[in-house]
Structure 1
């Protein structure tokens, strides 16, 4: 991530604006300050960290609030460097031109963008872990009227497949870097036609790390249409058997099982397994039925909170870095910062497999999320309810 070090930090007068970059307010921590920055209606933090031992300052982007385009962060750092620092020791703010820098409509920056782009789509396929993209691109070519959503956790894979799709002028693809379980948990019910999971990492010795589990199966059943299908293709019999057993928890479903079926398109991993004479297993699950819609009316437990100055002081004094764990969620109090007469707290929370990292602001006017609100998943709602409970305990 772009950053630079300097020996001298000038006085920072806020608010400040130059060349489209706005620095609006500062929150001060024990040895790190956060500078609220805005460019093109995107908000994020610059992090100003003092290295007492080496008598230098490190200025960089705060990783959990980074903007959608790396160029925004680079520009903010350059403006800050030119106006508030002296004696730069070293810097790394240049863009990597080998990376896909320009924003492409084929890559979604976050889950909210996915939800916006899938509105009014009549047919949707999802592929989890598309890798080199052979199967995903094949589905896009064969089904031009279907939106193909690809999920991958490796950025280079997203960028490479986006380039291939653009070169073929395929515009029915949307790619995102996220955890599949998180995406499924925020999609509307009865929305998706097919979900593909081809050659996932088998984790035969660590089955708890598999994407497939009872919660995953429940979300697949909820988001798939009545005519929808979940399709697993794997070279691991253990994974195949585990997935079948998991879905058999449903009282009604149809399971189609195939072995060593040759498809029109083959991934590089499948080619490798075939050369080694390994068996390939297909499991196609359908018949889930109709699911109830998500409850959108639920509110986060902190949205109506308000603390007076005495209670805020008590929270400040009792705050500590600690973790609270429930059966299916966690809450981690990470850091606290002072902002005028309010408190800024960084928390991690949500499901164990995919945490949220957010900042909340506590003041006499109320409690609110500094940036966007988290999604109303059941794990997030439980974690924020725990947050409310802990904050109240700090005021006693």
Structure 2
């Protein structure tokens, strides 16, 4: 992350604008100053953190960083040049080039908003694509289909993106995420195929398997009328476990196969075949979705009002607090004082892939930057947030 360290900073008189960089307002606590920054169409926080030696580190806030690193670099340059003296600079780790503002095309999505903006027409999803052989094969043979690859290991994402570019394939989009959260943000009946090839079987820790009741329900929701889930595995236990999970649906249809050769083979499959291991295929379709569409209110806080005394109580009673439900959590991380209200930094939602947001609480309550994704875990967390704010952190009510 680009940053620099300085012995002291000048008085922060905001708003301040230079070129395309706007430093609009700030919020602070004992250790950190957050500066609301805009560059062209994007907004984010610059963070000024006071160190133990009374120096300051200036960097971008990691949970609000802009999509273009050059926006952050330019903002740091402006802050350095106009709010610091050159002789006070201790060190810096950023360099700005004007041509870096030019947006570069990529096959990698860095967040769900970017991914969802690319979705048009037919979709295939491959979970845990590894070396990418099967994913690239599907992209080559289905040029009118967007192949979404989800993987938790970033090196695999970078390598497969390079391979796709070398093969002139543009109909793929790769993202680093938990597959369960990816499915939860997709529209219902929007996917034609979901591939899960050679997942880690987790025989001794089955709770870590991606296959579970909620995952199967999400598959049923996002798959279209004739959509299909395809498992390929060398583990009979995993094959049997998956079959049993989908048998909970009322009228599922299956295709079961053993040791069938495909036109494309992964490096793991090659290894298992050399060891004379059996390979199992399970195709599942005709899944009735008992999953009700969430009727969310867009995280509306319009029914809540706060006066000056309420804000005093909120600040006085603030706690670094984590609240947990059966399938969600809410963590209050930090509180910052702004000119006319308070800023809360919170983490919340699904345990396997939490979201982080800043919420402004003043005469009104609103999310800074962007609203959370409209999934049930986030909705439950926001309902809990409303209760905590309403009762000013009287957490005895929620124990």
Query: CA separation of 1:19/1:235 partners in 2, compared to 1, >3 Å: closer, same or farther?
Result: farther
Distance in 2 (alpha carbons) for counterparts of 1:255 and 1:90: 62
Aligned to 2:111: 110
Moved more, 248-257 or 339-348: 248-257
Distance in 2 (alpha carbons) for counterparts of 1:303 and 1:199: 48
In the superposition, the TM-score normalised over structure 1's length comes to 0.92
Distance in 2 (alpha carbons) for counterparts of 1:105 and 1:51: 37
C-alpha deviations, 1:81-139, integer Å up to 9, x for none?
222223222222258xxxxx9632522232223323224x1x21111121221111100
Aligned to 1:307: 306
Aligned to 2:362: 363
Distance in 2 (alpha carbons) for counterparts of 1:293 and 1:239: 28
State the Cα distance separating 1:28 from its structure 2 match.
0.3
State the Cα distance separating 1:207 from its structure 2 match.
2.0
Question: Quick check: 1:190–1:290 contact (8 Å CA) kept in 2?
Answer: no
Aligned to 2:18: 18
Query: CA separation of 1:242/1:290 partners in 2, compared to 1, >3 Å: closer, same or farther?
Result: closer
Question: Quick check: 2:187–2:222 contact (8 Å CA) kept in 1?
Answer: yes
Other structure's SS at 2:108 match: coil
Question: Quick check: 2:129–2:149 contact (8 Å CA) kept in 1?
Answer: yes
Query: CA separation of 1:205/1:303 partners in 2, compared to 1, >3 Å: closer, same or farther?
Result: farther
Distance in 2 (alpha carbons) for counterparts of 1:117 and 1:158: 17
State the Cα distance separating 1:348 from its structure 2 match.
0.7
Counting only pairs closer than 5 Å after superposition, residues 265-304 of structure 1 correspond to structure 2 as 265-289=264-288, 294-295=293-294, 297-300=296-299, 302-304=301-303
Given candidates 383, 392, 397, the residue that maps to 1:385 is 383
Other structure's SS at 1:63 match: coil
Query: CA separation of 1:395/1:209 partners in 2, compared to 1, >3 Å: closer, same or farther?
Result: closer
Distance in 2 (alpha carbons) for counterparts of 1:303 and 1:245: 45
C-alpha deviations, 1:220-265, integer Å up to 9, x for none?
0011012111011222333222222222221211122222222111
Distance in 2 (alpha carbons) for counterparts of 1:118 and 1:371: 22
Distance in 2 (alpha carbons) for counterparts of 1:23 and 1:252: 58
Counting only pairs closer than 5 Å after superposition, residues 189-200 of structure 1 correspond to structure 2 as 189-200=188-199
State the Cα distance separating 1:57 from its structure 2 match.
0.9
Moved more, 282-291 or 333-342: 282-291
C-alpha deviations, 1:253-292, integer Å up to 9, x for none?
1122222222111122222333333332221111114677
Query: CA separation of 1:171/1:75 partners in 2, compared to 1, >3 Å: closer, same or farther?
Result: same
Aligned to 1:127: 126
Aligned to 2:165: 166
Moved more, 37-46 or 103-112: 103-112
Other structure's SS at 1:200 match: coil
Point out where structure 1 has 5 or more consecutive residues left out of the alignment. Answer: 96-100
State the Cα distance separating 1:379 from its structure 2 match.
0.9
C-alpha deviations, 1:181-220, integer Å up to 9, x for none?
1221121111111001112232222222222211111000
Aligned to 2:246: 247
Aligned to 1:8: 8
User: Are 2:47 and 1:47 equivalent residues in the alignment?
Assistant: yes
Aligned to 1:35: 35
Question: Quick check: 1:21–1:37 contact (8 Å CA) kept in 2?
Answer: yes
Query: CA separation of 1:102/1:242 partners in 2, compared to 1, >3 Å: closer, same or farther?
Result: farther
Query: CA separation of 1:126/1:363 partners in 2, compared to 1, >3 Å: closer, same or farther?
Result: same
CA RMSD of aligned residues (A): 2.1
Moved more, 251-260 or 377-386: 251-260
Other structure's SS at 1:374 match: coil
User: Are 2:239 and 1:219 equivalent residues in the alignment?
Assistant: no
State the Cα distance separating 1:296 from its structure 2 match.
5.1
Aligned to 1:376: 374
Aligned to 2:397: none
Moved more, 239-248 or 127-136: 239-248
Distance in 2 (alpha carbons) for counterparts of 1:154 and 1:352: 18
Question: Quick check: 1:127–1:196 contact (8 Å CA) kept in 2?
Answer: yes
In the superposition, the TM-score normalised over structure 2's length comes to 0.91
Other structure's SS at 1:81 match: helix
Query: CA separation of 1:310/1:16 partners in 2, compared to 1, >3 Å: closer, same or farther?
Result: same
Moved more, 171-180 or 374-383: 171-180
Point out where structure 2 has 5 or more consecutive residues left out of the alignment. Answer: 97-101, 395-399
Question: Quick check: 2:296–2:379 contact (8 Å CA) kept in 1?
Answer: no
Other structure's SS at 1:238 match: helix
Moved more, 341-350 or 55-64: 55-64
Distance in 1 (alpha carbons) for counterparts of 2:74 and 2:276: 53
